[in-house]
Structure 1
């Protein structure tokens, strides 16, 4: 049975309570004078070049990955001015401006085996302006996974795009695009990603988060700024103006800092509050707690739809063994719910049929809430790795009337994957009220979305996935026996949470 056609925006919102609640599922809610979602790294890297050049006092780059060999604007051979050289030029042009770079230590240590990178880091160290540091302020087995850039403590970028190799691509995801050539000279697969640029007090809040992360990693604070600085680029049209934005985090307990699981709570609260649909773009789906929460909703009489756009397979053999098998197991289990057919998992492909890797971490709920960040729907992002997501919820008083913008962004993403005009997505959805029916009406040959193959994993894959060997739910669980962990335990935790929080679902 298909859902009924969607009501008008105003009727749909009514007196709905906000999903984001400070102190519950987010750290702070701050004003964004302007905000815009940036899709795919070609646009982001070009914008990053401008933002860094315009910064007056500080450029702060925090990430899981950072590669100074990449070109922000690669030519047809994937070459161009390396990022490391561009930063040296910025340091020369304005030596009083700080350029502070913080990346995850494990990935950074691997780079010291690459002579070009070592040479560039040495050249950076000879400047007063550039500070490059590695972040090891996390328990063993955890990682620093945030992707945040802050300019003059006023303008910030937060999302899923690493300033690293094998990330650049356009929204066309062209077959055989030679721009997609890594620093080692090898071509890489099409890559889909997203982030959000925000200006105003929310930029200051993300600066506070960055300063705290820098201080934890280096034992030294960033210097205070005078307050002048970065302005919104003149030629960049914002999606939102004068909106309140929630910032949610994950942080493992370590070195006197307590555990934070705001991101996990926000995922569960989104699932509980959804009335018509949630549209996800995400790299992983291996969290039993989230899967169980979806299954609980799909056992209701008239549940929302859940659409996931994901990679066909994880990036790397070991990740495929663990993450892909767990995803299949969870989706097959959800399918047993009363309305299990209201969950569909797709992967995008190019016109010639090559799979497009989905690295984005974006979610849209009922066209009343949009969320962009670094957090995957796996256990690591719920409790192990440092994460940061930003959310615009139309039910916050300052955000009244933003629903059409959120809808436009969601239609643009679906249109991109199906290679059709977003207006076609809008018309079909208006007629059916169903995201699934809309996507199914346009799926076909060439550039499109393909349903995920749910073939049961083999015994070895299943063992790794079932015991969450690469995706534990907490740092302590990494050292627990196999009898104390696993997908089934995570699943039961999720079911219990949803049943305890049914009053929240009714209020929302």
Structure 2
């Protein structure tokens, strides 16, 4: 299995991805301060069409809180409205997951903007409710004139904006209500060329699925690439992988899962992951298998200390605790590390990035988390770069290595050059991280899950609240009731 994957490469259209496409430029963007600024710059260059296919947005979010400019409004809602006023040929399409209109208003889409946008002629806002029960639209794709596209993990909503410094307290991160927001780590990517055109096609398909309206591709395209957006790769092939649940008129797609498992199987030296969760049972099994091999790879996972919300933390945290125990208990458990980042004063930094690097030969970034629902229940989209069969494979490996060094340098508050030097001296990614971790200051802290109670054990084992396939609601409720009953009996027994 490993030899076959290594020989053929990981990007296999129809299996591990939807399609493989060429890009002239690919940029990895770390943290939302950079993303919001680059998205704003790109939208200013738009002539015909902007498509924002997102999980959520907030009209009051400031795109560049560090910049005082009277040329363009900085709040997202005012910016979009002004942009359309100044661009008479521009159409803007916004599709977000349908939380219900009242919840949508409560999350920051003010009634005035919602009314104007849902009844406007050139700003088209729709709520995406075309999902199996319990699923959500989770893609985060922005397309400008079918010529430039962003795809990753960053939402245009409250609490996302942050810089790589991740200060304990930062007034620029304040919510629209003036409340302090915690440090937040995230990532996305920008692409042009065929990749942008394919993501535009994906966005149009999602729009049609949600609204019934078919949008034609743009017949005329022009080059769009913000002057300040630094290119990470030139002239590369990129795989586009999706998750799509089975529903009426829609087939099941599990490309993200297939690609992730193939990458784990091919790893030789290390698997580096940044993810909001570690809860997928298939991914956990694959990691355990590799750690059980005598000469298997090191596995490094960067997670948040805890997830948002009590129920989410109970479900994802319980599954993660069980997986950590399993991975640490393998014969290669000493090669496994899971950390959570903290700011200089010890404030936990929330990890929302969905990123994977294997042996500096493979990079995947997108919206999919390492939980069950991202593998089969929610709509997801990831981009992947594999050095196999690339015309500039050595340069590509160097660039991917640079990304990894940049990310770990951010987490450990060192320079990328220093991390590269220590890794070379140690000959091990695990040992390099452990050597550079500090007792105080911005750093990575080993994640130690708390012991699970009987109810949490059942939640973690059954996966009832983190399914990987759609189920009738009666089945979900029956499984939850059964798990709760068994948990209650277990906790009340002598």
Q: Is the structural similarity TM-score above 0.5?
A: yes
Q: Name 1:353's counterpart in structure 2.
A: 346
Question: Does residue 1:54 correspond to 2:45, yes or no?
Answer: yes
Alignment of 1:66-465 (within 5 A): 66-74=57-65, 81-106=74-99, 109-113=102-106, 117-125=110-118, 127-401=120-394, 402-444=396-438, 445-465=440-460
Change (3 A) 1:349 1:31: same
Pairs aligned (count) = 470
Q: Which runs of 5+ in 2 are unaligned?
A: 1-5, 484-494
Which of these residues, 4, 8, 14, is aligned with residue 23 of structure 1? 14
Question: Does residue 1:473 correspond to 2:457, yes or no?
Answer: no
Deviation at 1:254, TM superposition (A): 1.2
Distance 1:485 1:261 in 2: 28
Distance 1:399 1:485 in 2: 55
Q: Name 1:45's counterpart in structure 2.
A: 36
Distance 1:33 1:226 in 2: 20
CA contact (8 A) 2:58 2:109 kept: no
Deviation at 1:456, TM superposition (A): 1.7
Deviation sequence 1:406-437 (CA, Å, 0-9, x none): 00000000000000011111111112221110
CA contact (8 A) 2:38 2:229 kept: no
Change (3 A) 1:187 1:433: same
Distance 2:92 2:117 in 1: 10
Question: Alignment partner of 2:250: what SS?
Answer: coil
CA contact (8 A) 1:152 1:230 kept: no
Question: Alignment partner of 1:436: what SS?
Answer: helix
Distance 2:446 2:233 in 1: 33
Distance 2:172 2:389 in 1: 42
Change (3 A) 1:359 1:483: closer
Deviation at 1:114, TM superposition (A): 6.6
Distance 1:113 1:363 in 2: 34
CA contact (8 A) 1:56 1:228 kept: no
Change (3 A) 1:172 1:485: farther
CA contact (8 A) 2:54 2:140 kept: yes
Deviation sequence 1:19-65 (CA, Å, 0-9, x none): 22111110000001101100000000011111111011111001111
Deviation sequence 1:353-402 (CA, Å, 0-9, x none): 00000000011000001111000000000000000000010013335220
Q: Which runs of 5+ in 1 are unaligned?
A: 1-14, 487-508
Distance 1:65 1:258 in 2: 25
Distance 1:304 1:114 in 2: 42
Distance 1:236 1:443 in 2: 31
Distance 1:108 1:144 in 2: 16
Of the structure 1 ranges 419-428 and 384-393, higher mean CA displacement relative to structure 2 is found in 419-428
Q: Name 1:4's counterpart in structure 2.
A: none
Deviation at 1:271, TM superposition (A): 0.8
Deviation at 1:221, TM superposition (A): 1.1
Distance 1:253 1:485 in 2: 25
Deviation at 1:222, TM superposition (A): 1.7
CA contact (8 A) 2:90 2:122 kept: yes
Deviation at 1:335, TM superposition (A): 1.5
Which aligned runs of 4 or more in structure 1 are off by greater than 6 angstroms?
483-486
Question: Alignment partner of 2:165: what SS?
Answer: coil
Q: TM-score, normalised by structure 1?
A: 0.89
Distance 1:199 1:70 in 2: 26
CA contact (8 A) 1:373 1:390 kept: yes
CA contact (8 A) 2:242 2:381 kept: yes
RMSD: 2.0
Q: TM-score, normalised by structure 2?
A: 0.91
Distance 2:390 2:338 in 1: 34
